[in-house]
Amino acid sequence: MKNQSEKGMVINMKRSYFKYIFGLLLFGSNGIVASYIDLSSYEIVLLRTLIGSLLLIILFFMGKGTMTFYQYKKQFFCLVVSSIAMGASWMFLYEAYARIGVSISSLLYYCGPVIVMALSPLLFKEKLTAIKVVGFLSVLCGVFLVNGNAFDGNGDTFGIFCGLLSAVMYSLMVIFNKKAYNITGLENAALQLLISFLTVAAFVGFKQGFEIHIQQSSILPILILGLLNTGIGCYFYFSSIGNLPVQTVAICGYLEPLSAVLFSVLLLKETMLPIQIVGAVMILGGAVFGECIKRGEA
pLDDT digits (tens, 9 = 90+) for 145-156: 766 655 555 457
Tens digits of residue pLDDT in 166-177: 988 988 998 898
Contact criterion met (CB below 8 Å) for 241 and 178? yes
Is the distance from CB of 55 to CB of 231 less than 8 angstroms?
A: yes
Task: Provide the CB-side half-sphere exposure for 135 (13 A, CA).
Answer: 26
Is the pLDDT assigned to residue 2 strictly greater than 60?
no
pTM: 0.77
d(CA 187, CA 288): 30
Show the DSSP H helices in the chain as ranges: 2-28, 30-34, 41-62, 73-100, 102-109, 112-123, 130-146, 157-179, 185-207, 219-223, 233-238, 246-252, 255-267, 274-288, 294-297
The residue ranking higher by pLDDT, 294 or 54, is 54
Spatial separation of the C-alpha atoms in residues 97 and 163, rounded to whole Å: 8
